[in-house]
Amino acid sequence: MKFQCPICRKPTDSESNAEFPFCSERCKLLDLGAWASEKYVISEPVIDESFPEDLDRDADDRKN
């Protein structure tokens, strides 16, 4: 799989590069440092936490 490094945009290949999706260990460490310093954040939960509640509420509505 061909891809561009998310840090420096150099081409990288999953078959030949052990650091994939990064082009080098340097870019991999720069990305890790950005996460550690909270430069990157996940803005919303990956899983909608209200979803199970909606199922429970729908099941209760069907019983009534």
DSSP string, 37-50: TTSS---S-SS-TT
User: What domains does the chain contain, in order, with CATH numbers?
Assistant: 2-63 (3.30.50.10)
User: Would the pTM count as exceeding 0.85?
Assistant: no
Cβ-contact 7, 24 below 8 angstroms: no
Q: Strand pairing of 11-13 and 2-4?
A: antiparallel
Distance CA 51, CA 59 (A): 13
CA distances from 39 to 4, 5, 14, 33, 50 (A): 21, 18, 26, 9, 28
Q: What are the pLDDT digits (tens) for 7-50? A: 999 999 989 889 999 999 999 999 999 999 999 888 776 776 66
